[in-house]
A and B are shown apart, each in its own frame.
Chain A
């Protein structure tokens, strides 16, 4: 049974600061890791994916993966009020076939103006 753990929050961060979101996963066979953002009443929207150890940057977002520690994180630099949402960490163990996402419960992020 794959498990993905996230602190549900709320995590409150001042505007312009760095928001740090964390996620751990139980299945060492997990291959790919995703961060989705979900606004209330809307569907999940992809922020980033990562599958190699280390950092991956895309604009204000940086994803970090440490497979030895089974840990994934998302950093949001220069946080904006529009970043206020629930952030879902998700994993798959796809080795070439389609595989469903296993989601964490999500972290509710609040950016304070």
Chain B
């Protein structure tokens, strides 16, 4: 089973709202990732959690706040977003291997900021 789940599938929010995206995996993976994908562009890395600790933060604005409550769950808290933050937000997980550390993606949350 290589399933990563994400909720919600779609989210529309105003610039003053606070919302959260959720991601879950039950594959025993020890790394989880957030990516942002704009239309007709490749995914761009935002954050990496390895063994429940934030290991990579790609200079993402503070209006995006990640949280990893346990090894199976990953949240992305959103606050005071801008319309240009509208995108597909993808969660992924991997085992953490030296070579071929395959990342499996969830279906994504399509976010629209009004």
Asked whether, in the complex, the Cβ of A32 is within 8 Å of the Cβ of B105, the reply is: no
Contacts of A51 in B (CB 8 A): 99-100
Asked whether, in the complex, the Cβ of A100 is within 8 Å of the Cβ of B107, the reply is: no
Cα distance, A111 to B50, chains bound together (Å): 39
A78 to chain B, nearest CB (A): 25
Binds B, one of A13-21, A38-46, A69-77: A38-46
Given A43-B90, A43-B106, A99 and B100 touching (CB < 8 A)?
no
Given A43-B108, A98-B94, A34 and B102 touching (CB < 8 A)?
yes
Interface size of B in residues (CB-CB distance below 8 Å): 31
Asked whether, in the complex, the Cβ of A98 is within 8 Å of the Cβ of B55, the reply is: yes
- Interface range on chain A: under 10, 10 to 19, 20 to 34, or 35 or more? 20 to 34
Cα distance, A43 to B107, chains bound together (Å): 5
Q: Tell me the A64-113 residues at the B interface (CB within 8 Å).
A: 88, 92, 94-106
Contacts of B64 in A (CB 8 A): none
Asked whether, in the complex, the Cβ of A49 is within 8 Å of the Cβ of B33, the reply is: no
Cα distance, A34 to B30, chains bound together (Å): 19
Given A44-B90, A101-B103, A105-B41, A95 and B98 touching (CB < 8 A)?
yes
Asked whether, in the complex, the Cβ of A98 is within 8 Å of the Cβ of B96, the reply is: yes
Cα distance, A74 to B5, chains bound together (Å): 28
Given A31-B99, A51-B99, A92-B101, A99 and B48 touching (CB < 8 A)?
yes
Contacts of B100 in A (CB 8 A): 32, 49-51
Contacts of B107 in A (CB 8 A): 42-43
When C-beta atoms are compared, the residue in chain B nearest to A42 turns out to be B107
Given A32-B99, A96-B98, A101 and B43 touching (CB < 8 A)?
yes
